[in-house]
Amino acid sequence: MSQASQPAQQPVILTGDRPTGPLHLGHYVGSLRSRVELQHTHRQHVLLADTQAMTDNAHDPDKVRRNVLEVALDYLAVGIDPALTTIAVQSHLPALAELTLLYLNFVTVARLERNPTIKEEIHARGFGRDIPAGFLCYPVAQAADITGFKAHVVPVGEDQAPLIEQTNEIVRRINRQVGAELLPEAQALIPEMGRLPGIDGKAKMSKSLGNSIPLGSSADDIRNAVKMMYTDPNHLKVSDPGTVEGNVVFTYLDVFDPRKEEVEALKDHYRRGGLGDMVIKRRLEEVLQNLLAPIRERRAELAAQPDYVFGILREGTRKSADITQATLDEVRRALGTFSFDKA
């Protein structure tokens, strides 16, 4: 086997999720699906970002704690393979907290306040002027996550791109100060397919908007979600011409139904009139049931063995703790912070 295919040569990926609820189809399309692919060509690390989740959930640590296992179940159920991907619990990687403290000195408050992601999220969460300092600073912690693993590639949604930019600013400042390419710059990997809309047609599928299909959904949940799905509100009679654009059933068929030509033919028929919502919904339901049934079954099997899942997390966290501690040691040495080992 050639050296090039050895894991040590593979580019490093870091990605993660805030464990604030079980993951849903939007996560599957936006990130989980590609992680299952990328783990074969990259050295992939995934973070259960419970510390970051606390930055806007400090009032409800219980929720964050419980969802660490839920999200881990989602990862394993979709095929993220712990033999190929390390899965770590962020709060148990103390080196990341220390890197964060160091990096906070390489970024200004004004820069943090200008971060478009943060501005948008502060608005969305209604913090007003009462912004938790931890929240304002989480981009710095995320820079610690990314550089702690020396990640080259960070798959994230488009909304997170400014965080990668901010990470790279910190990287450049530190590299300039120490006069070496100590930390690699990271590249955001943004999925081509935009966001999956919610079943109500809103731009984003989200648990808090109540328009999501969780990966562990029962067959009945899936049936009901499809039944409630937003179509074309002006398509009242089967014979009426219908609109495909913005029609969630067609959006989902485009994403999930591999029989593209048949879907195109259905779109033409729907536009002409004479094709009822029931028909397209029945088709989509079958596609989603087939996609989600094996994920649900695997998830239930794993949920019945929490010790096994915790074992996987413990092992992934141990490996990740070593990697991130090694980076912290290097950064400290390069910056020349105090050490008892030095003369």
Instruction: Draw the binding track, 150-189, toward ligand TRP (x: CB under 6 A; -: no contact).
Output: ----x-x---x-----------------------------
Q: Determine if 15 is a binding residue for ligand TRP (CB under 6 A).
A: yes
Residue 285 sits in the site that holds ligand TRP (CB under 6 A): no
Residue 235 near ligand TRP by CB under 6 A? no
Instruction: Determine, following the binding rule CB under 6 A, whether residue 145 of this chain makes contact with ligand TRP.
Output: yes
Q: How far is the CB of 154 from ligand TRP (least distance, A)?
A: 5
Judged by CB under 6 A, does residue 70 bind ligand TRP? no
CB 309, min distance to ligand TRP, A:
20
Q: Are 195 and 157 in contact, with CB atoms under 8 Å apart?
A: yes
* Closer residue to ligand TRP, CB minimum distance, 159 or 277: 159
CA angle 226, 227, 228 (to 5 degrees): 90
As a whole number of angstroms, the distance between CA 14 and CA 3 comes to 23
C-alpha dihedral sign at 222, 301, 34, 92:
positive
Binding residues for ligand TRP restricted to 186-215, rule: CB under 6 A: none
User: Which one of residues 12, 25, 38, 49 is an interface residue with ligand TRP (CB under 6 A)?
Assistant: 49
SS3 240: coil
Which x/- pattern over 293-332 shows residues binding ligand TRP (rule: CB under 6 A)?
A: ----------------------------------------
User: Residues in contact with ligand TRP, total (CB under 6 A)?
Assistant: 14
Of 5, 99, 83, 90, the residue nearest 44 (C-alpha): 83
> Using CA atoms, how far apart are residues 4 and 318, in angstroms rounded to an integer?
26
Residues near ligand TRP (CB under 6 A):
14-18, 47, 49, 52, 142, 145-146, 154, 156, 160
